[in-house]
Amino acid sequence: MVSESTGESSSTPVQSKQPKQPKAQVQQGQGSKSEKGGEKGKSAKDLKKEKRAAAVAARGISETSTDSSSKTGLPNSNSVDSRQQSYSQQQHSNANSIGSSSIPKRPNHYTEPSALSLSTIQQNLFFSHLPKQIQPDISLALNTGKLHPIIIRLGVLMSSGQLRGANARTMGMMSAFREVIRDYECPDQAVLWKDLPIYLSPMIAWLEGCRPKGVGGGNAIRWLKSEINRLGEQGDRSEAEQKEYLVEAIGLYLRDRIEFADKVIADNAKEKIRNGDTVVTYARSSVVERVLLEAHRDMKASDPESGFKVVVVDSRPLLEGRHSLEALSGAGISCTYILLPLLSSILSQTDLVLLGGSALHSDGSLYSRSGTALVSMLAKEHRVPVVACVETYKFGEKVVLDGVSLNELGSIENLINLPNNHNNSSTTIKKLTKEDLNKNLTPLNLVYDVTPPSLITAVCTEIGFIPPSSVPTVLGKASSVV
């Protein structure tokens, strides 16, 4: 098996076809190539190849996932094809050489065989293409010397879930890159606008490996690259000036596209919340939280007697709604906390559903925390208007038809084990162990889902309320800006 697949992946035809191959395969070919480089000593050709791979990695979005999934074969399953398994074994044997000798442009997140079972168990037939959340290897990342420490820190925060939410992640990423650009020094013979993207690309790839950056983050990175390119057109300016320009531009981007956008969205959306209303929110969204807090503040300012109620709907395994609940009830809003199964009973008494989102695709479908589609479906059934609060920087040009083709796999530790249910003697739910998982069980934790546009009444953006069908119009206008 091993020899067979090695022959396949490192054979010349595959490599010669590299540029035209799908990205995932490029990565695999590259992996084996760099191994060979490590063994034989690096030739100039190898270096060139690696550079190109790094560029591909920076551009690409999904290959990390495929890469990492293929690296770690399922120990128990026979369905994993032979190439993948053998590939993982190769990787094992070369683990040491990668860290020291060759310069991996892409970070290799390496999971020990013992830790495999839980995080890789979701790799069954339908979901093996999805990126999953794994612990990134920090020491490896530090050893490469290509990653700025702040980026490594950010990656760890993202993958551990301490930095959650599209806005927070994008803001974190962009301000980290601002620091990186401040610290960046252009080499002597190089030109800044040409060298900087190459310098940044391994960091972007590392962050992508820690957690896919999503549509909003992708838009921000694309914008940053176009800004760097624009430096090339503008001609002679000193390095310090150019850096200063970029640092300032990032600040403006964060301010205009996220902070001000949120403010305007809050101003728009709070008009829809009236005295005595009951508003439903799902999980946690920074924008929705802001809308509710500002609506509450304004309502209390105009009339202390008035007010509205909030129903925070939550679901396992993340239970993010608790954070929302804390913020909202802390501000004096009367809240009700329920889990998703109870929603259908509550909805008939509510007036508005406010949702946040990770992305809004060009067909108007909302890409958001899994469960959102369920909430909107129920709301539609009960004729409760559904308003999605999304900044325009999260508008994506893709069309996504389902939640399977593009998604993320979350950690399943939380899914299979109830957090604090052990003491509860009345329930006799057996705690699942790794042995159970090694049988015919596939726990699945998809992080996002897709809400079709027909379920969304209106999208609240910084340019006002728009119907989901108008997203392409906005995208067409914004494409010059983004």
Mark the segment that binds another protein (CB under 8 A) among 251-259, 342-350, 372-380, 470-478.
Answer: 470-478
Q: Which has the closest alpha carbon to 319: 282, 367, 280, 283?
A: 283
Contact call for residues 178 and 224 (beta carbons, < 8 A): no
419 binds another protein (CB under 8 A): no
Site for another protein in 236-265 (CB under 8 A): none
Which of residues 138 and 474 has its CB atom nearest to another protein in the complex?
474
Site for another protein in 441-460 (CB under 8 A): 457-458
Least CB distance to another protein at residue 385 (A): 4
Which of residues 192 and 299 has its CB atom nearest to another protein in the complex?
299
Q: What is the CA radius of gyration of the chain?
A: 24
DSSP states along 182-200 = HH----SSS-HHHHHHHHH
Mark the segment that binds another protein (CB under 8 A) among 144-152, 408-416, 432-440, 465-473.
Answer: 465-473
352 binds another protein (CB under 8 A): yes
Give the span between the Cα atoms of 321 and 432, in whole angstroms.
25
433 binds another protein (CB under 8 A): no
Order of strands across the sheet that contains 352-355: 334-339, 309-314, 278-282, 352-355, 386-389, 458-461, 464-466
Least CB distance to another protein at residue 366 (A): 16
Site for another protein in 265-324 (CB under 8 A): 272, 274-276, 302-303, 305-306
Least CB distance to another protein at residue 227 (A): 23
Least CB distance to another protein at residue 457 (A): 6
Q: Which has the closest alpha carbon to 246: 181, 194, 186?
A: 181
Residue 153: strand, helix, or coil:
helix
Residue 179: strand, helix, or coil:
helix
Least CB distance to another protein at residue 257 (A): 15
Site for another protein in 21-50 (CB under 8 A): none
Single-letter amino acid code for the residue at 308: F
Least CB distance to another protein at residue 455 (A): 13
Residue 62: strand, helix, or coil:
coil
Least CB distance to another protein at residue 305 (A): 8
Tell me the H-state helices in 254-342.
261-270, 286-302, 321-330
Mark the segment that binds another protein (CB under 8 A) among 159-167, 317-325, 332-340, 472-480.
Answer: 472-480
Q: Which two tokens stand for residue 70?
A: 């293929």
11 binds another protein (CB under 8 A): no
Q: Which of 222, 469, 479, 481 binds another protein (CB under 8 A)?
A: 469
Q: Which residues contact 284 (CB under 8 A, 6 or more apart)?
A: 164, 165, 320, 321, 323, 324, 356, 369
In our burial notation (b when 16+ CB lie closer than 10 A, e otherwise), range 41-54 reads ebeeebeebbeebb
Mark the segment that binds another protein (CB under 8 A) among 151-159, 225-233, 243-251, 471-479.
Answer: 471-479
Which of residues 226 and 275 has its CB atom nearest to another protein in the complex?
275
Question: Which 8-state DSSP code applies to residue 158?
Answer: H
Site for another protein in 377-396 (CB under 8 A): 385, 387
465 binds another protein (CB under 8 A): yes
Least CB distance to another protein at residue 389 (A): 13
CA 126 to chain centre: 20
127 binds another protein (CB under 8 A): no
Least CB distance to another protein at residue 461 (A): 9
SS (H, E, C) 219-266: HHHHHHHHHHHHHHHHCCCCHHHHHHHHHHHHHHHHHHHHHHHHHHHH
Give the span between the Cα atoms of 417 and 415, in whole angstroms.
6
Q: Which two tokens stand for residue 286?
A: 């920074």
Which of residues 147 and 459 has its CB atom nearest to another protein in the complex?
459
Least CB distance to another protein at residue 310 (A): 16
Least CB distance to another protein at residue 387 (A): 7
Contact call for residues 117 and 437 (beta carbons, < 8 A): yes
362 binds another protein (CB under 8 A): no
Which of residues 197 and 472 has its CB atom nearest to another protein in the complex?
472
Site residues for another protein per CB under 8 A: 272, 274-276, 302-303, 305-306, 351-352, 385, 387, 457-458, 463-467, 469-470, 472-474, 477
